[in-house]
Amino acid sequence: MTTLRVAIAGLGIGRQHLDAFRALPEEFDVVCICDPDAERRKAVAAESGIARTVSGFDELLTMQDVDIVDICTPQNLHFRQTQDALAAGKHVICEKPVVGSLAECDELIRAERASGRRVMPVFQYRFGVGLQKLLHLVDRGITGRHFVSTAETTWRRGPAYFKTAWRGRLADSMGGCLLTQAIHAHDVMTLVLGDVQKAYATTATRVNAVETEDCAVASLTMADGSFVSLTVTLGSADDTSRLRFHFENLTAVSSLAPYTMTAEPWTFLPTSDDAARRIDAALADFAPQPERFVGQFQRFHSTLAAGIEPPVTLADARKSIELLSALYHSSATGIPVALPLSNEHPVYAGWLKSVVPAKDETHHPVVPAKAGTQRLPANDTGSRRAPGRQ
């Protein structure tokens, strides 16, 4: 087995990536960490026994002993840094969202193809054992027709959270709770249920004095005519996530854990005795695999060794970006948006101009909307996150 050498750029969420790589010592060796904060670099290096640290991303690209660049930097940097890493002959792992528009995603797909290297976007929630059980049942035709499902991302983020410079600022983060907190839950919905045919969304800034939305509701019509409801807020009393799927033969309910809702325990409620027998028989053949970052990174190593597509592809990330684009455009215009979006759609090149007046270049914080009012969505793609917090 070939051990692949990794350089991690960004030591916020990157520290969780580092822990995952260290749990896979035969597959990966972290040879360098990069972060502009000297004290953070020093502390992480000492804790992890990593000899080489640098402050600038471009330094990583000149290192001949680096096979993979793991990008955990502010999201508004992801597009350029992924391009540069591919041009330098590196494979790339990139935190969500990889880019801020369908146009950029399509450009990265072309760059990846030309480079002969692989880009793997990070969607670690896909690998939770509870979710994998549901996918196992779907693949075997046990679930039957889908009727309606719900995704709830109800978390609490107050002034302390937004003290980090990039958070809540349009220019840096590109989106709010839809993008930074709920993107994983919504990705899970489309992973299980397939393509979205129509999206309608309403967003508002009601909890915090920021530029980005912190409350959102959305309604999706799926390609098969079934429905999905999405609810997001940063004003909850606690952090809870819940996925609930209603199929012809069963209802599946996730864990309520905010960062591990795709892990067990999940509940599978049959609609008949026959469905119960079929569920039990199918799950008897289910073999759990590693979850979250460890599960995704282990699968990435296997696919690189086999020369096949990674477990999460840029095409997968594109579907997530397309849904975000549709939700933000719907909220800005007040009308449902049909998918797929063409390259001539107003939001193809990015949703910021669609939802923010072109003359507004100041990006000053705003006062939360009063009850009964609505604010145009703002966009926060994230930057450097504290460990375990999005």
List, for residues 252-304, the tens digit of each pLDDT value: 999 999 999 999 999 999 999 999 999 999 999 999 999 999 999 999 999 99
Cα torsion angle, 8, 14, 16, 17, sign: negative
Is the domain of 114 the same as that of 135? no
pLDDT for position 82: 98
* Average pLDDT taken over every residue of the chain: 90
pLDDT for position 172: 80
- The pLDDT confidence band at residue 315, using thresholds 50, 70 and 90, is very high
362, 380 Cβ separation under 8 angstroms? no
- The verdict on residue 246 lying in a domain is yes
Is the domain of 13 the same as that of 130? no
Structure confidence by residue, pLDDT tens digits, 320-341 = 999 999 999 999 999 999 999 9
Is the domain of 157 the same as that of 65? no
Length of the chain counted residue by residue: 390
CATH number of the domain within which 282 lies: 3.30.360.10
Domain count of the fold of the chain: 2
- Which one, of 169, 190, 191, 189, lies nearest residue 180 by Cα? 169
- The verdict on residue 284 lying in a domain is yes
pLDDT at 187 over 60: yes
For residue 94, the one-letter residue type is C
- The verdict on residue 242 lying in a domain is yes
Count Cβ atoms within 10 A of the Cβ of residue 11 and give its class: 0-12 exposed, 13-18 middle, 19 or more buried.
buried
- The verdict on residue 74 lying in a domain is yes
Is the domain of 224 the same as that of 323? yes
Last residue of a domain, which of 255, 284, 312? 312
Pull the structure tokens for residue 95. 């935190």
pLDDT at 376 over 60: no
| Mean pLDDT computed over 156-163 | 92
- The pLDDT confidence band at residue 318, using thresholds 50, 70 and 90, is very high
Is the domain of 218 the same as that of 348? yes
Report the relative pairing of strands 174-175 and 379-380 from DSSP bridges: antiparallel
- The verdict on residue 390 lying in a domain is no
How many angstroms separate the CA atoms of 289 and 296, rounded?
A: 10
- The verdict on residue 275 lying in a domain is yes
- The verdict on residue 213 lying in a domain is yes
pLDDT at 3 over 60: yes
pLDDT at 75 over 70: yes
Structure confidence by residue, pLDDT tens digits, 189-215 = 999 999 999 999 999 999 999 989 999
Structure confidence by residue, pLDDT tens digits, 102-154 = 999 999 999 999 999 999 999 999 999 999 999 999 999 999 999 999 999 99
18, 10 Cβ separation under 8 angstroms? no
Task: Tell me the CA distances in angstroms from 346 to 55, 286, 320, 350, one per residue in order.
Answer: 38, 44, 17, 8
Is the domain of 305 the same as that of 318? no
pLDDT at 352 over 90: no
Kindly report the three-state secondary structure assignment for every residue of the chain: CCCEEEEEECCCCHHHHHHHHHCCCCCEEEEEEECCCHHHHHHHHHHHCCCCEECCHHHHHCCCCCCEEEECCCHHHHHHHHHHHHHCCCEEEECCCCCCCHHHHHHHHHHHHHHCCCEEECCHHHHCHHHHHHHHHHHCCCCCCEEEEEEEEEEECCCCHHHCCCCCCHHHHEECHHHHCCHHHHHHHHHHHCCEEEEEEEEECCCCCCCCCCEEEEEEEECCCCEEEEEEECEEEEEEEEEEEEECCEEEECCCCCCCCCCCCCEEEECCHHHHHHHHHHHCCCCCCCCHHHHHHHHHHHHHHHCCCCCCCHHHHHHHHHHHHHHHHHHHHCCCEECCCCCCCCCCCCCHHHHCCCCCCCCCCCCCCCCCCCCCCCEECCCCCCCCCC
pLDDT for position 389: 45
Lowest model confidence (mean pLDDT) among 81-85, 158-162, 365-369: 365-369
Cα torsion angle, 212, 214, 215, 221, sign: positive
Place of tokens 């890493």: 85
CATH number of the domain within which 77 lies: 3.40.50.720
pTM recorded for the entire structure: 0.87
Is the domain of 144 the same as that of 279? yes
Is the domain of 370 the same as that of 300? no
Last residue of a domain, which of 279, 312, 345? 312
pLDDT for position 76: 86
CA atoms within 13 A of residue 130's CA, in its CB half-sphere: 21
Is the domain of 299 the same as that of 352? no
Last residue of a domain, which of 282, 312, 342? 312
Segments forming the whole domain that contains residue 43: 4-124+293-312
Dihedral angle over CA of 255, 187, 278, 140, nearest 10: -150
Is the domain of 320 the same as that of 308? no
Is the domain of 267 the same as that of 286? yes
- The verdict on residue 184 lying in a domain is yes
Higher pLDDT, 152 or 390: 152
Is the domain of 149 the same as that of 242? yes
